[in-house]
């Protein structure tokens, strides 16, 4: 299972002709020039900046929108079942099945080649709404009532009572939203034609089509792009798995 990781890392630090046969199992005179190459050879900082902006936008909006929706759903109101059903049926529609109209809609909104357009379809996630909903419902009602008696407004109940008690749900939201936006490829591929707006996955794909697989720099690039998600995963493995399986165990 780990072999692919080793192979890409080995190629990334190799100096020799990577097409030589037989390939060496250990890199000969390992060095980091390939990584430096990536930084200067392609607009890596630009891709990185774009990726970071889009991911930050997605993470922040997910936290706000999902928590708000979850709070609303944890109350009873007429039409609640209909809204729940709508959310659940939306879960069954893969984003890839919407690309043509989604492109046309985004183009009508004038958001092609923009950060907002890149982030928009990802700004709220149904799975994460349910993660928040479960966390909010686990908070004892007496606590909320006590806060209400003390005269706290709804927004303060969310910010000062519910959110501090839902740290795990917050972590899950952050991790999932980050990973999904960081890795997104098809959507940015469709709506960004301007190289200045492209994100890291697009940069990687462009690099591949320019150079084919001929240079160690490509693999250095791949390793650099993989590093953040591996890091996030190792830091927050528990939250990540909980988020994915909470959708799993409850349907």
Partner 1 sequence: MRAAGEAVGTLVEPGQGWWQRKRTRDLALVAAFLLPSLTLFVLYRLLPLGWNVLLSLQYWSPLKPARWAGLDHYQEMLLADEVFWQSLQNTLVFIGASPFAIALALGIALLVNSDLKGAAAYRSIIFLSYPLMTVAVGIIWRWMYDERGGIINFALRESGLIAKPIPFLQSFEWALPSVIVAEVWQVLGFYMIIILTGLQSIPQHLYEAAAIDGAPRWAQFWRITLPMLKPSLFLCAVLGILNSFTSFDLVYIMTNGGPGHATELLITYIYKSGFGQTKFDYAAALTVVQFILLLALTYLANRLAGGNAGSLEQR
d(CA 227, CA 9) in angstroms, rounded, equals 11
**Smallest gap from residue 207 Cβ to partner 1 (A):** 9
Q: Does residue number 169 form part of the binding site for partner 1 (CB under 8 A)? A: no
Site for partner 1 in 121-160 (CB under 8 A): 121, 123-124, 126, 129-130, 141-142, 145, 148-149, 154
Comparison of 29 and 249: residue with beta carbon closer to partner 1: 249
Q: Half-sphere exposure (CA, 13 Å, Cβ side) for 27?
A: 15
Q: Does residue number 97 form part of the binding site for partner 1 (CB under 8 A)? A: yes
Name which of 121, 94, 109 is nearest 187 in CA terms. Answer: 121
**Smallest gap from residue 121 Cβ to partner 1 (A):** 4
Binding mask 1-30 for partner 1 (x = CB under 8 A): xxxxx-xx--x------xxxxxx-------
Count of residues touching partner 1 (by CB under 8 A): 92
- Asked if 135 contacts 168 with a C-beta cutoff of 8 angstroms, the reply is yes
Site for partner 1 in 62-81 (CB under 8 A): 64-66, 68-69, 71-73, 75, 77-78
Q: Which residues of 28-38 are buried (b: 16+ CB within 10 A; e: fewer)?
A: eeeeeebbebb
């Amino acid at each position: 299972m780990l072999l692919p990781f080793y192979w890409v890392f080995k190629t990334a630090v190799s100096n020799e002709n990577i097409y030589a046969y037989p390939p060496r199992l250990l890199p000969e005179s390992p060095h980091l020039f390939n990584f430096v190459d990536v930084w200067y050879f392609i607009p890596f900082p630009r891709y990185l900046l774009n990726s970071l902006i889009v991911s930050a936008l997605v993470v922040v909006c997910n936290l706000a929108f999902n928590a708000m929706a979850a709070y609303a759903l944890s109350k009873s109101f007429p039409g609640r079942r209909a809204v729940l059903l709508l959310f659940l049926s939306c879960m069954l529609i893969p984003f890839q099945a919407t690309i043509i109209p989604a492109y046309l809609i985004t183009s009508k909104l004038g958001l092609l080649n923009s950060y907002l357009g890149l982030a928009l379809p990802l700004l709220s996630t149904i799975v994460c709404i349910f993660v928040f909903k479960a966390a909010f419902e686990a908070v004892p009602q007496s606590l909320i009532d006590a806060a209400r008696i003390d005269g706290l407004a709804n927004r303060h109940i969310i910010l000062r009572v519910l959110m501090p008690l839902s740290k795990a749900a917050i972590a899950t939201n952050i991790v999932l939203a980050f990973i999904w936006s960081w890795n997104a490829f098809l959507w940015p591929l469709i709506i960004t034609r301007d190289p200045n707006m492209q994100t890291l996955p697009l940069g990687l794909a462009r690099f591949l089509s320019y150079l084919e697989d001929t240079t160690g720099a490509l693999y250095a690039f791949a390793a650099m792009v993989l590093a953040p998600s591996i890091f996030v995963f190792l830091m927050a493995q528990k939250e990540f798995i909980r988020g994915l399986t909470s959708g799993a165990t409850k349907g």
